[in-house]
Amino acid sequence: MGMAETENLAKLELLLKEVLNRLEKLEELILTHIEDPTMRLALELAMSFQIPVLRATQIALRISNVFLKERGKGSHQLSHIDDPRYGKKVHERV
C-alpha cells in the first residue's frame, strides 16, 4: 500500500469516527425528547439490537402489556393524577 492510500484510509477512519459520534449524539437527543415510555423502549431496542423499528415496537408493546397486566393485579381503584402532557387530570390504576 502506498503512502497516499494509507493517508486516505486514515482520513476515512477519522470521518467514520465523526459520523458515529454524531449518530450517538442524535440518538441521545431523540431519546430525551420522546415522552412515551413504550416508544422509548422500542427505539432503544431497535438501536441496541439493530432490528427494524416496527419489530422493536411490537416487542415493546408486548413488554408494556405484560407490565400493565402485572401492575393491574393489585387494586383496581383509579386515582386521578395531573398529567402535564395533557394539561388535565387522567385516570391511572393504583
Given the C-alpha cell 402489556, which residue does it identify?
65
Q: Where are the alpha helices (DSSP H) in the chain?
A: 3-33, 37-49, 53-71
Q: Are 92 and 79 contacting, i.e. CB atoms less than 8 angstroms apart?
A: yes
Whole-number Cα distances in Å, 25 to 18, 31, 32, 94: 11, 10, 11, 37
Domain ranges of the chain: 1-33, 35-94
Q: Summarize pLDDT for 40-83 with one digit per residue, the tens.
A: 889 889 888 989 988 999 999 999 888 877 776 554 444 445 55
Q: Summarize pLDDT for 36-52 with one digit per residue, the tens.
A: 888 888 988 988 898 99
Residue 94, pLDDT > 80, answer no
Q: Summarize pLDDT for 3-40 with one digit per residue, the tens.
A: 889 999 999 999 999 999 998 888 888 877 888 888 88
The pLDDT value given to residue 85 = 57
Cα dihedral sign, 87-57-47-64? positive
